[in-house]
A and B are shown apart, each in its own frame.
Chain A
């Protein structure tokens, strides 16, 4: 049973567009929500993370929006570039154990 639901499965945007990836969870005990970026054949790399007492966090072109009451959070990639083309995973942490979403493959076309 997947504890974190992620959508869409894939999306394509033009360079400069803003891909948005959404995640939802049920377990209110989750205390930390990271996003990971993964390129083919590589391990996931931590991109940005947020705690449930914060509604928004920005790091460079990446923004997390967090809605605690709705148990949803999303990743926005501002001014997307072809180099951002990768698979993105949301996750939720409980006791050092991460539950991952299914992943979203983002393609940014030049």
Chain B
């Protein structure tokens, strides 16, 4: 299957700082990428849909100024958690779509201390 690389796999940051997570599709061009958040023992919650060259579409209840998404190319989307707080600690997962199949990154464990 297609490969989606997410980096970093884990990060610890201080409260008030910003963290950037990268998502790359390595062997296909993804016009659409998705960002999810997953709490322990829960399902994936879609945060936003990222389209190359245009603004991201955020799901209801997701603060777009806090979770900045950039999709600068067909193979790269980034999620920046701005002014992170402990409640932002979570597992963040990206996915990239190839036709109707979605391939997921390895996930990023964010811990805000």
In this complex, how many residues of chain B approach chain A with their Cβ under 8 Å: the count is: 24
* A93 within 8 Å of B (CB atoms): yes
Chain A residue nearest to B104 (CB atoms) is: A43
| Cα of A41 to Cα of B97 in the assembled complex, Å | 22
Point out which of B42, B44, B95 has the most chain A C-beta atoms below 10 A from its C-beta. Answer: B44
The B interface is mostly helix, strand or loop, or mixed, namely: strand
Nearest-Cβ distance from residue B16 to partner chain A, whole angstroms: 26
Residues from chain B with Cβ under 8 Å of A43 in the complex: 4, 6, 93, 95, 104-107
| Cα of A50 to Cα of B106 in the assembled complex, Å | 24
A12-20, A30-38, A52-60, A69-77 - the one binding chain B: A30-38
Residues from chain A with Cβ under 8 Å of B6 in the complex: 43
| Cα of A78 to Cα of B93 in the assembled complex, Å | 29
Nearest-Cβ distance from residue B58 to partner chain A, whole angstroms: 13
* A86 within 8 Å of B (CB atoms): no
A contact residues, range: 20 to 34
Nearest-Cβ distance from residue A55 to partner chain B, whole angstroms: 19
Contact A46 B102, CB 8 Å, known A41-B107, A102-B42? yes
* A45 within 8 Å of B (CB atoms): yes
Nearest-Cβ distance from residue A61 to partner chain B, whole angstroms: 18
Nearest-Cβ distance from residue B25 to partner chain A, whole angstroms: 13
Point out which of A43, A49, A97, A105 has the most chain B C-beta atoms below 10 A from its C-beta. Answer: A43
Given A43-B95, A93-B100; 16 other pairs, CB 8 A cutoff: A36-B104, A41-B107, A43-B4, A43-B6, A43-B93, A44-B93, A46-B1, A46-B103, A46-B104, A89-B44, A96-B97, A96-B100, A96-B102, A97-B34, A97-B46, A98-B34
Q: B residues near A, CB below 8 A?
A: 1, 4, 6, 32, 34, 41-44, 46, 49, 91, 93, 95, 97, 100-107, 109
